[in-house]
Amino acid sequence: MTNFMFIVIVAIVLIALVLFFTPFGKQLRVKFKGRTDEVMRQDAQTPEGARDYYNAAIREKEDFYNRASATYAEISGKRDTAEKDLYQANKDIMRVTQQINACLDENKEDEAMQYAMKKSTLENKINVLKDTIEEMKEAQAHQKDIRDQAAEELQKLKEEKEQVLFQMEADSQIIELHQSMDSLNTNNESDRMLERVREGARKTRERAEGSRIAYDSSAQANERRLANSERERNARQILDDMKRQRGNK
């Protein structure tokens, strides 16, 4: 054994000791089991997970039903064989009885004794077969109940699967539809973009208004307004002078 293999074996043994013989290992096992149960619980709440669990349960029910059916068929076959043996034994005992009577009629005591011994054996066989058949009747009836109950439970489980999965799929579609509607109402990207455009337009308008106010209050704007006012007065003076000159003529 190489050093590497020895180290690997020792590491595995140490991990096993930690997991199974320490409080920390117990906590890890409990935590892992809790997470596993939680994952299984969440998985069972989805149509896909529920279908897997139902299929597994149905396979178990089918296996039990098949075994119950095989046992019932076996008991039925043994009972049928026993009843055939009983029928043949009754025929044989009738034949032996005739042979005994024939021997007695001919005073053949020894042969009659041999046939009598055969008859005794057949009578014992018939008694055993009768008891066996009665026991098999009870076992067959009991096994038939088990088989029929297994078939009923299997059928109910299949019907339940179809009903539950149909309801879960319908509910899932309703949930998805509502989530889609909520998404359109509250998280629509176009609405968010339009809101940004409106906000940008408001800010641009505010900047433009601020720029106009700033310009109107600037020295350059005041000088331009004064210059325009002076030109307007000069133009008014020129116009008035020309009117007076035209009136004197």
**pLDDT number for residue 46:** 78
pLDDT in tens, the chain (249 residues): 566 565 667 566 666 555 555 654 555 444 444 444 455 566 566 778 888 888 989 999 999 999 999 999 999 999 999 999 999 999 999 999 999 999 999 998 889 999 999 999 999 999 999 999 999 999 999 999 999 999 999 999 999 989 988 888 887 777 777 766 655 555 556 667 777 777 777 777 777 676 666 555 555 655 666 566 777 777 677 776 677 777 755
Q: 65 near 151, Cβ under 8 Å?
A: yes
Q: Which two tokens stand for residue 176?
A: 């998805």
Contact 101, 165 (CB under 8 A): no
CATH topology of domain 45-172: Helix Hairpins (1.10.287)
How far is C-alpha 43 from the geometric centre of its chain's CA atoms? 6
Beta strands in 123-195 (DSSP E): none
pLDDT the model gives residue 32 = 45
Q: In this predicted structure, what is the pLDDT of residue 232?
A: 74
pLDDT at 234: 73
Residue-level pLDDT at 30:
47
Residue boundaries of the structural domains of the chain: 45-172, 218-249
b/e string for 211-242 if b means 16 or more Cβ within 10 A? eeeeeeeeeeeeeeeeeeeeeeeeeeeeeeee
Q: What is the pLDDT of residue 14?
A: 63
> What's the chain's Rg over C-alpha atoms?
54
